[in-house]
Amino acid sequence: MTVKLQDQASQRIKRLQGNLQGLTRSVFNLKSAIAGLAGAYLLRRAFKSFTEAAEAEETAVMGLHQVLVSMGRYSPQLERKLLDLADALEVQTAFSNDAIITAEKYLATYSNISNDVLPRALKVTLDLARGWNIDPRTAANIR
């Protein structure tokens, strides 16, 4: 009788161990699934942020192009010079590329700012924006 009870207890312990191992695997699988979902969410947010930034830059570039054409200032060389300047200033300042290009667009609407002076006017505008803690577009529109 004691041998039979020991066998039953041993079998129950083995089943319990098996159940605990299964539960442990399930917890680890759930943990992996949650980590995977969190990773996918973060990846989605990063992609969305990147996409929004690319769209904002594309909109700014198109706006600059339209203003240069409508103001009779357009040349491929000037447009390239302004876009390259925006890229360089983005690295040197706290402003995004699209914010700088938008400021260039507004500065290009002023007929009293020549194409030669436009890069210097942009730098002054960015200094003003930084000093007054305003965005470059607003700084470019101060008269």
DSSP letters spanning the chain: -HHHHHHHHHHHHHHHHHHHHHHHHHHHHHHHHHHHHHHHHHHHHHHHHHHHHHHHHHHHHHHHHHHHHHTT---HHHHHHHHHHHHHHHHHSSS-HHHHHHHHHHHHT-TTS-TTTHHHHHHHHHHHHHHHT--HHHHHT--
Q: Output the average pLDDT for the chain.
A: 87
Domain ranges of the chain: 2-140
Residue-wise pLDDT tens digits, 25-83: 777 776 777 777 777 677 777 777 778 888 989 999 999 999 999 999 999 999 999 99
Q: Is the pLDDT assigned to residue 127 strictly greater than 70?
A: yes
Q: Is the pLDDT assigned to residue 132 strictly greater than 80?
A: yes
